[in-house]
Amino acid sequence: MTNYRFESFTPAFDESTGEPDERTKGYFASTSVGFHDSRSTDEALKKRVQRAIDDDRRLTAVYAESEYEYALDSGIPVATFAWFEKLVNVGGGRLVPAHLITWVTVRPTHRRRGLLRSMMTTDLAEAKAAGYPFAALTATEGGIYSRYGFGVATWSHAIEVDTSPGFQMIREPDRRVEMCLPSVLRELAPKIYGEFMRTSPGAMERQQTYIERATGDLNTETGEADRGVRAALHFGEDGQPDGYVSYKFAGWSVKPPTIELIDFVAATDAAYASLWSFLAAIDLSSRVTFGESAEDSPLPWLLTDSRRVRTTSTEDNIWIRILDVKAALEARPWYVAGTLVLEVDDPQELTGGKFRITSDGENAVVETASESTPADLSLGIAELGSLYFGGADPVILVRAGRIEENVPGAAVQASAMFSLGRMPYSPNGF
């Protein structure tokens, strides 16, 4: 029987050499295997470790000795896990610290040994004890995390936009757009994204990787700099930047000639429209692709021909795991007054029970209801995570059998009460 050793630590450099220390090297060697990344050069690894330090990531590694010659070194973990803290907009610009989980891997030779369950259950219990109202993650595989109480809470679209002759907007945008060196985004991108984050439910603070990608300092496929990146800024009426786009030409072998968006952030509607007008005007291209568009993007409504915007795929993005029902629901705004009683089942027993939500149209008081109190809706903790940012519709979840409606009309009432005025959107993966 294999003996496993669990260790938690922070990424670090060896003070004597300036290189990542051995434990950190081993950790990143393991995650590269798990996510099918190419082996990093020494310089790329140093930058990767520095980004992890900048994000204050906390790492967990599982080690096992092998009895076989030529096997991977025992200093390379057989399983990995990490978490870090970022602020999340839970609606109305209210920013709440969240426990973000990432870099979850288990080597194929050590599957079905309970390693993932051990790491996840321990981490969620510690996050709850630390006072986080919810945890979040983005999933490379869709069928894993619902068993731990995570529910899909935001989605994103990959789109193609036909910018060939004839592209026209219904209203002429302000065109306060200028190209800039991508390097200026190192200073400006975090500020502009911070403004955007307060407008979009579900949006969360970004990690260092996004800044590196936008500036061209990081090509995520190679780990090296990308000198093909270009950038542009939109300026508000006050002359201050309130939107940006970074992009690259896909190459002459791609037909039709295509502009690939690396990052697109607009804190205002004017910035959004003008940046798209700029992209459509780029010479020697007739298509723009973007892999992280909002589910309710206004772009088709901006054009005289909405068919020029085509959704090529839709993917889940942020998954939410409620750790404290009362704290999580009281943290977000409630724009519709009313009372709703939820019976929440949590198989991990971190939170759950029967709760009465009383909203005054701005805030809500959440109280534990007695066992004898009839519930309007019965649902699992994962389904509550899906409702949290207002992205999932309780009416649809009732039809799908994911929520039980105990009182006729309760799902419609819940749909109105959980709405945050716009669909959640977080152009952020981790």
The set of residues, in sequence order, having a beta carbon less than 8 Å from that of 316 and lying 6+ positions away, is 139, 142, 152, 154, 155
Tokens (6 digits) for 47:
């930058």
DSSP per-residue letters across 26-49: HHHHHHHHHTTPPPPPHHHHHHHH
> Catalytic annotation on 430?
yes
Q: d(Cα 403, Cα 411) in Å, to the nearest integer? A: 9
Other beta carbons within 10 Å of 399: 12
C-alpha distances (whole Å) from 3 to each of 70, 77, 194 are 19, 13, 45
> Catalytic annotation on 145?
yes
The active-site residue out of 84, 134, 145, 247 is 145
Q: What SS3 state is found at 22?
A: helix
Angle (CA) 421-319-141 rounded to 5° is 140
Q: d(Cα 118, Cα 8) in Å, to the nearest integer? A: 13
The set of residues, in sequence order, having a beta carbon less than 8 Å from that of 387 and lying 6+ positions away, is 151, 379, 394, 397, 414, 418
Quick one: which H or E segment has residue 60?
A: strand 58-64
Residue 244, amino acid:
Y
Q: d(Cα 356, Cα 369) in Å, to the nearest integer? A: 6
C-alpha distances (whole Å) from 314 to each of 156, 157, 159, 172, 290 are 6, 5, 9, 29, 12
Contact 86, 207 (CB under 8 A): yes
Q: Which residues are catalytic?
A: 145, 430
